[in-house]
Structure formats: structure tokens, C-alpha cells
């Protein structure tokens, strides 16, 4: 995770507390693929309290969890993941979005938002369109997805 704010730390921060070291020590910090399970549903404030390093580490697991479970779960983390993908989030003021993520990572977020737009019966397509539009404005190289946003508007 490269020293970012972890899941446990974010949850404790939501309660104005500091996470105990023993809990932090048990968290996965090296391989984000190991945290893609229903336990993510316990961590609903991750993207409110993590920093850019934590965001970079956790965004993929949350997107993958959503893709796997969006039809069978009503967990709020699916929409929170859509809401989190904003290029102008506070955590990117000192470390701009374009410097934090590779173009491949940005394309994955674009594809995730496109998926959310196409599955509005289960996901918040309105916010997905808005965040997709912002992403496309920030990364003109990936504008081939723009046609999907335009018909319904942001």
C-alpha cells in the first residue's frame, strides 16, 4: 500500500479515533487481490478517509467486488465506489489524479463507470455518468467512451 491510510484506519477516523496498531498490523498491505471479498462491505467510509495511496490501493478491489456482486447485493459500497471516482477529490489536490494513476488504471475506472451507466437498474448511473464525464475531460486520450455519456447527459 506504500504507506497509505488503510481500511481500519479510515473506519476509526470516521469516529475521530486512532486505529490500534495490532489491527493495522493484520491488514493486507501488499496484495490488493487478497481483499476482494464480502469483508469490504464492513468498510463503507474508505474513500472518505483514506489518502491518495490508500485510494490507489483500494479502488480496484472495490470495483471488482461491485462487478461481481452488483446484482445480488444491496451493499452501499457499490455506489460509494462510483462516487469515489472523481478526478477532483480533495486527496488529489497535492497529488493530481493523473500523477497517481497510470493510463491503464484510468481506463479501468472508465470501463467501470461505463458498466455502471449500462446497469442503472442496480447502480447509480447518474453519478457514474457525471464522474465519467469528468474523467474524460481530464484524460482526453480515452474519449472513445464519450458517446456512451452523451445520449443521457451527465
What is the arithmetic mean of pLDDT over 96-114? 94
Dihedral, CA of residue 36, residue 15, residue 72 and residue 120, to nearest 10: -100
* pLDDT range class, residue 146, cuts 50, 70, 90: very low
With 0.85 as the threshold, say if the pTM is over it: yes
| pLDDT value at 143 more than 70 | no
Q: How far is CA 124 from CA 20, 24, 50, 52, 121, in A?
A: 35, 32, 22, 23, 8
- Residue 12's pLDDT is 96
- Residue 141's pLDDT is 76
Q: What percent of the chain has pLDDT over 70?
A: 92
- Summarize pLDDT for 44-75 with one digit per residue, the tens: 999 999 999 999 999 999 999 999 999 999 99
What is the arithmetic mean of pLDDT over 87-110? 93
Amino acid at each position: 500500500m506504500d504507506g497509505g491510510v488503510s481500511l481500519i484506519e479510515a473506519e476509526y477516523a470516521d469516529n475521530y479515533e486512532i486505529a490500534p496498531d495490532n489491527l493495522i498490523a493484520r491488514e493486507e498491505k501488499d496484495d490488493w487481490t487478497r481483499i476482494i471479498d464480502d469483508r469490504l462491505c464492513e468498510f463503507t467510509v474508505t474513500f472518505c478517509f483514506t489518502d491518495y495511496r490508500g485510494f490507489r490501493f483500494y479502488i480496484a478491489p472495490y470495483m471488482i467486488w461491485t462487478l461481481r456482486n452488483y446484482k445480488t447485493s444491496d451493499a452501499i459500497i457499490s455506489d460509494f465506489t462510483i462516487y469515489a471516482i472523481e478526478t477532483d477529490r480533495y486527496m488529489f489536490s497535492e497529488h493530481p489524479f493523473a500523477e497517481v494513476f497510470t493510463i491503464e488504471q484510468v481506463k479501468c475506472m472508465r470501463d467501470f463507470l461505463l458498466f455502471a451507466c449500462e446497469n442503472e437498474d442496480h447502480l447509480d448511473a447518474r453519478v457514474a455518468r457525471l464522474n465519467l464525464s469528468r474523467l474524460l475531460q481530464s484524460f482526453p486520450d480515452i474519449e472513445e467512451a464519450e458517446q456512451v455519456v452523451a445520449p443521457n447527459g451527465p
